[in-house]
Amino acid sequence: MGKAIVRSSAKGEFEVTPTESKTTGTVGNFPHGSRETPVISVSTREAERLEKARGHNADMDVIGESYSSIVPKKPANKGGVPKPAESVEGRGLTKENIQQTLLGRTQSRKSNGKPFVGRSRELVGVREAARRDRRQKFTNLLHHLTAERLRASLFELKKQAAPGIDGETWQDYAVEFERRIKDLHDRIHGGRYRAKPSKRSYIPKSDGTKRPLGIAALEDKVVQQAVRTVLECIYEQDFLGFSYGYRPRRSSHQALDALFVGISRRKVNWIVDADIRGFFDAISHQWLMKFMEHRIADRRMLRLMKKWLRAGVSEDGEWSPTKVGTPRER
């Protein structure tokens, strides 16, 4: 894992001393988070942007574990006084202020005699196994979809998101969520879970066309979020540090910061801006599942993902199958 040392000088400037990536053998390509530049002096403003580019928060998929060697620090208030510990990354479910009464009551409970947690230590083994051997196939993943993880996934969803075909909002589901989560868990592990079609909607694009979106039903979102939590433990080990798309704790703003640092601090002769037209709308279900099978050998987990691909879409009350492509939300 590469590291960088930042030193300040009497002139208020900074020096960044990078180390070389073990993955690619080039400076700046780090497998999980660091994006350093050659030794240079930069202004304080540029140094701040450099720190933003390389100091993103690590994803916390398991208790006390991080995908990065960068340790999150407590942010300071305006007066320079550190905020309470609960504001630091690692709070898990308590980082949302919406529905405080319901959420607080839920977190204080215990399930089956164990404290209620959203991200359990059992995923540490999955992550470490994926890190040790990138060719290993995982044969027993569905059991990680526990009632506790489904409950945690519910509270990780956007509370004000538009409802799917079922018309059910987060607030509707939360009324009797304990009973409904238990029923959902039983249906998943009993093979009785059925995915609902996605609700088709459109948003305008800058070129005047419209981008199709697929809004999943609330219950489907819960299961998808739980599956994502499990699969991220595997696939996050394969991504390189300069990869930003659809990854936890990463954003387009961080990608722009890294790009700014690369352009302004290194000699750049050309830049390639490429886009795959209609990528999500044209994904082959067959090839997608073949790629998933390189790492996932749990047939029940694979069947679960196939249900979402085959659920189809509903537009103006008319159902249509999805033979290619995968619905995506905003």
Render pLDDT for 125-143 as a digit per residue (tens, 0 to 9): 999 999 999 999 999 999 9
Tokens 């750049």 found at: 268
Instruction: Kindly calculate the radius of gyration of the chain based on its CA atoms and give it in whole angstroms.
Output: 22
The strand pair at 210-215 and 198-204 is best described as antiparallel
Q: What is the DSSP string of 270-315?
A: -------TTTTTS-BHHHHHHHHTTTB--HHHHHHHHHHHHS-EEE
In Å, how far from its chain's centre is CA 176?
27
Q: Is 135 exposed, middle or buried (0-12, 13-18, 19+ CB in 10 A)?
A: exposed
**What number of residues does the chain have?**
330
Note the pLDDT of residue 149.
96
State the pTM of this model: 0.65
Tell me how crowded residue 24 is: count the other CB atoms within 10 A of its CB: 14
Question: Higher confidence at residue 19 or residue 54?
Answer: 54
Beta bridge pairs of residue 73: none
Integer angstrom CA distances of residue 268 from 27, 151, 254, 259? 14, 48, 19, 11
Render pLDDT for 62-109 as a digit per residue (tens, 0 to 9): 433 333 333 334 444 444 444 443 333 333 333 344 344 444 444 444
Q: How far is the C-alpha of 233 from the C-alpha of 222, rounded, in Å? A: 18
Amino acid of residue 178:
E
Render the burial of 54-88: b for 16+ CB within 10 Å, e for the rest: bbbbbbbbbeebbbbebebeeeeeeeeeeeeeeee
pLDDT > 70? residue 323: yes
Note the pLDDT of residue 48.
67
